[in-house]
Chain A
């Protein structure tokens, strides 16, 4: 039972990342009708916002320590972050320690700007082109973006640890009546799950309870009619692209402490997220979120020793297997809308 609960938690955690990326993908597809293969790169850029802020906070001045030697036998260069010199060692160290949560504030304007530039500068020219053209151009853009990141940050993963107080693990089992050490789970992964639920809730609330959201939903249903009413729906959709980029970026920022960011991390999530969107139903926001969590849990269970010994390789194909079954039984996906990608 404890093993099952652990895998459900793992699945929810994986599903959080899938759901956040798939949510952004669906938002872009539902509003602009664009199949954005650069969306994984936005997730990666978000993670590197955290890396960048961490590097900025660690900018240091160098003093020579004559008592210690470096690898060439010269006096050791000791680096002290400016922030520790300005605010004192304790406050400075605390600010650096909280660099990942602080990166959320850093990443929001950057991701909105990246989204805006991407949409205005490139993607808008492909609105009326076939989906194949959109896929090619956005996939090319993803490769360019990841090579730029690799040029500046290298190919090696870079650790972005969580704050000390949120690192380590917590014994969830004892809280629900299990033996000690039965269900130990990393604190940051619980934070990530909570964060994902919060972001998803915020996006849904924004679309559901604001006038802006109402217009966007109307535009998603019938773009031409909304335009005929004198509403500049293109501008709103551009803003939605920025918001989708922001969601992917924030998902990336918070994912850094789970797995150290590297330039390729966006591609690792991209294909899976597209499968999530297809299983959830093209253009369906609740479908994307539901499918994200569902596939995350299934993938988690498929990776257990029992599953891999019973059906070798099941962990690598489970998501695609489910996608095939769903598409055979429900061609529009779990919650797909009629008319989307059907003309």
Chain B
């Protein structure tokens, strides 16, 4: 016969252990329910597409939206599957994300930081968006990235080219697939040297805001490293429409290259004005005068018309690439919408698929799990060849394109021709590079 000694201390101990054991699943459930912002509870999940639907970049925003809608179709198993067939990761099965049907809501950034934050906030708080994607401006990207960090959702940036987005303003919840100004400089410089020589004198006209400054800094650094001299750097107000007053002094400045650090309407107008003043017909310092536009987009090229003929620049991606991912996306987009996609459309499409794939691989929608799955992820099959999402700053590294305004376009879409596909290794840099210094990635915020 065994005698059991039941003591008060023993009962308390046993009670505590049993209580903890019984409560454990509840703790996990409770913690899981409030673990992160907008955790999907039903059979669907909502993504937020924040693009400029009004304002000067509305056409670019519309192109992004078309690509985002196409990505949602492909994720839900509709259409021809697009890049799901070429993507190196096979986690996506065309049955939504983690078995949940993908839906989306849209917001209008208006290409204004405050409006973009307001629309993103509304999509997160009212519509339950679990991820925000899109945009056509670095100012907007930085603003929305900050909001997403605070709210505890993932931000998959659209078109944003300023170094700061993954430099001093980088955030743990934000990811950029698009290339940046440093990469433009690193890709362009060798081509400029090969085509124009190493003894050139450059005059910069720069849009007077964050993106323009980082672009100028990057191009000046890379061209001066070649041996070029920078004659002058002139800031032009963002609201400028007529650049004749800025172009006229270039004529007698001693420069033989004009670098236009402008984007959108600014670039279309400044390039048109430069051509009007006959800069490309001019001979300076015994050399043919040249113009460089470091950042191109297809829509800008269309707006600039014949003025871009022969003018060099860089791009994140172009529909004329011949890799399997590009071909699959162009076919899908072209057959659905009757035109080739722009590089801003491609970056948004890729970002939506990358987010969905990261959720699948992580097995959760929790932003911290998703971020972990995206960090240092190596993939292929979405365009631009093998790509690396660097964990240290959430910047994608892939090949960069140097393009030139096509001298003899055969249709409305081949306004640009690919001059060189600059390998990824040539545009890589240290995360602590001075042009990207000053910020901290911080910790992932799951919100809730």
Contacts and interface: CB of A to CB of B under 8 A. Distances in A.
B281 interface: yes
Contacts of A299: 245
Given A14-B245, A259-B269, A308-B235, 20 more contacts: A7-B245, A71-B334, A71-B340, A71-B413, A72-B330, A72-B335, A155-B58, A156-B59, A156-B303, A159-B303, A167-B276, A182-B252, A186-B276, A186-B278, A258-B276, A259-B241, A260-B269, A262-B56, A300-B244, A315-B237
Interface string B237-256: 10101101110110110000
A225 interface: no
11 contacts: A2-B252, A71-B330, A71-B340, A72-B330, A155-B56, A158-B303, A169-B281, A184-B251, A258-B242, A260-B303, A300-B244
B304 interface: yes
Nearest to A313: B237
What range describes how many residues of A lie at the interface? Answer: 35 or more
A257 to B, nearest CB: 8
Interface residues of B, number: 48
A5 B421 CA distance: 45
A76 interface: yes
B320 to A, nearest CB: 8
A94 interface: no
Interface string B294-309: 0000010011111100
B136 to A, nearest CB: 11
A207 B235 CA distance: 44
A185 B59 contact: no
Interface in B330-349: 330-331, 334-335, 340
A264 interface: yes
A307 to B, nearest CB: 10
B277 interface: yes
Closest 8 CB pairs of A and B: A303-B245, A159-B305, A169-B278, A155-B58, A186-B276, A157-B303, A6-B248, A156-B59
Interface string B261-294: 0000100110011001110011000000000000
A168 B411 contact: no
A264 B241 CA distance: 11
Contacts of B241: 259, 265, 268
Contact of B276 (A14, A77, A158, A189): A189
Contact of B269 (A68, A156, A157, A161): A157
A10 to B, nearest CB: 5
Nearest to B269: A259
B302 A156 contact: yes
